[in-house]
Amino acid sequence: MSDAAKLAAIPTLVNPPADFVAQANISGMEAYRALYQTAVNDPGAFWGGLAEKELDWFQRFEKALDWQAPFAKWFQGGKMNVSYNCVDRHTKTARKNKAAIIFEGEPGDQRIITYQELHRLVCRFASSLLHLDLKTGDRAIIYMPMIPEAAIAMLGCARLGIPHSVVFGGFSAEALKARIQDLEAKVVITADAGWRRGKEIRLKDAVDEAVKSCPSVESVIVYKRTGCDVVMQQGRDHWWHVLDETAREDVEAVPLDSEHPLYVLYTSGTTGKPKGILHTSAGYLLQATMTMKWVFDIKESDTYWCTADVGWVTGHSYVVYGPLSVGATTLMYEGAPDTPAFDRWWRIVDKYAVSIFYTSPTAIRALIRQGDHWPERHKLSTIRLLGSVGEPINPAAWEWFHRVIGHNNCPIVDTWWQTETGAILIAPMPGATPLKPGSGTLPMPGIQPQIVDNAGNPVDDGKEGYLILRTPWPSMLRTIWGDPERYKEQYWSKVPGAYFTGDAARRDKDGYFWVLGRVDDVMNVSGHRLSTMEIESALVRHPSVAEAAVVGKPHEITGQAVCCFVTLKKGIGDHEKLGVELRQWVAHEIGPFARPEEIRFSEALPKTRSGKIMRRLLREIVTSHTVVGDVTTLEDMNVITTLAAQHDED
């Protein structure tokens, strides 16, 4: 079949396979609708009932929700512990010898950790934290490869009520430093290095660089992963395995308030400074738990694999907290999908009989490019459910995922959510919802998204508008760490009284949601959020750069790519050399994953008469190579003419 024929053959509506419906947690649309309606009728009773049933409590809560907009408190009066819910409670059941984590390292090493063993490891690590004098309320930074110790560190912190912030291993020392400082972390948990494409990603070196200017850090814990040489500073740095020698195994989970901070995850916003998104305990865990059941249809016998890194929110909710809360087996793979060859992921699916596979459209597109012979070499028939997250999934990627990986009989759950929402808010229930490829379909129970215009009025079905939410949900962000004003301003002021997602969307006549992408200065590169302002601030810190404007440019594989327009200080000549240097500079300032695809030098940038850079026009240039939008506020039309002409010469 030609590509065009394949695309034309994608059905507009894909019903769930009958055998899937028959075994599903939520079976058939009637069941979905009934559940949804129960939540609409009485959200407090709905979530309260689930919280009681699905979570283990040390002390029962008194009230489901206390809503002083835009600040929510869920399950007040209750005492619980996330680590207890993810680990201890399963050791009291037949799950005690079930695999909690299946790990495969990039070099091929393998570990299978049962719930009982996980309990032991988490207790021992919590004991090490206590030994270093860490207390409930102190903060920890986790900067680790994708190894079980990353999850163990998270759960160890949660056990003691030490809020953690996981920093993706692809972030540079500079980015790490900013996060440690903002959180005023007392401990940094890291590894010597991790494996990626056969190379060592040296994490401890970056920590050394970062903590030079972080006076809050008293200790650094280092897990030995690759065995590379690292410098250990006496008194400050401790090997994980040495602390472990004297660790105890009877460290009880601390009973914590429902609203005790669980973690802060930094994400790009519309300014140069990343936002520390705060998630708390009970509400967050409840919604991660429910979506595991509703969206991933999780069963006792599943081997569940979400390919996200723990450094992103998907890794928090759907590699660690969600799967472990429901007592599932969660798979972690350390390395790159193409190491040693492009079938590494399919080899892993085959080897461990993975049944649920959750990944991103970017990864799918990159794998399509390598050809079908890679997946065809392996047995993928254990897969019963596929998932997608991070960006809208395009028809070609959907079709391939469905046919080549899912053998045309696995539902694909296209899950829409954000770092801020904590858990999936719009997605199909795979045994109920008929799919429309490219749509996240319908909202989860308890979630009532709306699409509105600039004035906050609902738009008609079929029309594009802003995606907003008017009512609180348990796993919503509580604030921006240390900056409640910014929280109000960023999320609750664009449409007064409503949570602004920053996404444009439309709803079709069947009530299905189609998320179209960001409407703010946030780019989505490979499903990773990057702020144009953050990259601009990095560029202007370079001594040769006078001004910079950054826009997302459409990209076949990564969705968007980073394109920078730069004006230089007077007398700086060699563009070619500087282009290479600036790309490297951004990788150094933020991290290799933020490295710009393109640097364009320009004599001037398009500005309004009041001096604001008109990124919208630059976006048009990189997208359609011309400017047709409104230019009446532009100060100097020549700038645009020159920039557009520059492209024609390329």
- State the residues that interact with ligand WTA by CB under 6 A: 267, 312-314, 389-392, 414-419, 440, 501-503, 515, 517-518, 524, 529
Residues 6+ apart with CB under 8 A from 149: 125, 191, 223, 225, 240
284 versus 565: smaller Cβ distance to ligand WTA: 284
Q: What angle do CA 166, 582, 552 make, to 5 degrees?
A: 65
> Considering beta carbons, is residue 431 or 559 the nearer one to ligand WTA?
559
Indicate the residue among 226 and 314 with the shorter CB distance to ligand WTA. 314
The nearest distance, CB 390 to ligand WTA, in angstroms, is 5
Spacing of C-alpha 433 from chain mean position: 24
Extract the tokens encoding 513: 């949601």
Q: Residue 643 CB, nearest distance to ligand WTA (Å)? A: 27
Provide, rounded to whole angstroms, the least separation between the CB of residue 113 and ligand WTA: 26
Within 8 A by CB and 6+ apart from 630, the residues are none
Nearer to ligand WTA, 226 or 501 (CB): 501
Q: Which is nearer to ligand WTA, 390 or 406 (CB)?
A: 390
Pairwise CA distance, residues 234 & 554, whole Å:
49
242 within 8 A of 220, measured Cβ to Cβ: no
Q: To the nearest whole angstrom, how small is the minimum distance from the Cβ of residue 159 to ligand WTA?
A: 26
Best CA proximity match to 401, nearest among 500, 280, 528, 307: 307
Q: What is the DSSP string of 146-161?
A: SSHHHHHHHHHHHHHT
**CB 304, min distance to ligand WTA, A:** 17
For ligand WTA, the closer CB: 321 or 352: 321
Find out whether 162 and 134 touch, Cβ atoms under 8 Å.
yes
Which of 95, 96, 125, 101 shows the shortest CA–CA distance to 113? Answer: 101
Q: How far is the CB of 483 from ligand WTA (least distance, A)?
A: 18
Q: How far apart are CA 167 and CA 437, in angstroms?
A: 33
CB of 512 to ligand WTA, least distance (A): 12
Beta bridge partners of 480: 277
Closest CB to ligand WTA among 105 and 430?
A: 430
Check if the beta carbon of residue 560 is closer than 8 Å to that of residue 572: no
- Max Cα–Cα distance, the chain, nearest Å: 72
> CB-wise, 214 or 320, nearer to ligand WTA?
320
Nearest approach in angstroms of CB 418 to ligand WTA is: 4
Q: Which is nearer to ligand WTA, 149 or 414 (CB)?
A: 414
φ, ψ of residue 369 in degrees (nearest 5): -60, -30
614 Cβ contact partners less than 8 Å away, ≥ 6 residues apart: 606, 607, 608, 633, 634
Give me the residues paired with residue 14 across strands: 435
Nearest distance in Å: CB 288, ligand WTA: 12
- Alpha-carbon span 108 to 106, nearest angstrom: 5
CA distance 24 to 432: 8
Buried b (16+ CB within 10 A) or exposed e, 263-290: bbbbbbbeebbbbbbbbbbbbbbbbbbb
Q: Taking the complex as a whole, how short is the minimal distance between the CB of residue 361 and ligand WTA, in angstroms? A: 8
Residue whose CB is less far from ligand WTA, 312 or 565: 312
Q: For residue 68, which amino acid is it?
A: Q
Non-local (6+) Cβ contacts of 432 within 8 A are 16, 21, 24, 26, 27, 28, 29, 31, 32
Q: Minimal distance in Å, beta carbon 428 to ligand WTA?
A: 11
Cβ closest to ligand WTA, residue 127 vs residue 291: 291
In angstroms, what is the minimal distance from the CB of 242 to ligand WTA? 36
Name the token pair of 167.
């920093």
Q: Which residue's CB is nearer to ligand WTA, number 392 or number 591?
A: 392
Cβ count near 142 (within 10 Å) = 26
First to last CA, the chain: 35
Q: Which residue number is nearest to ligand WTA in terms of Cβ?
A: 419
Q: What tokens were used for 198? A: 């056969």
d(CA 444, CA 295): 9
Q: How far is the CB of 459 from ligand WTA (least distance, A)?
A: 18
Q: Which is nearer to ligand WTA, 190 or 441 (CB)?
A: 441
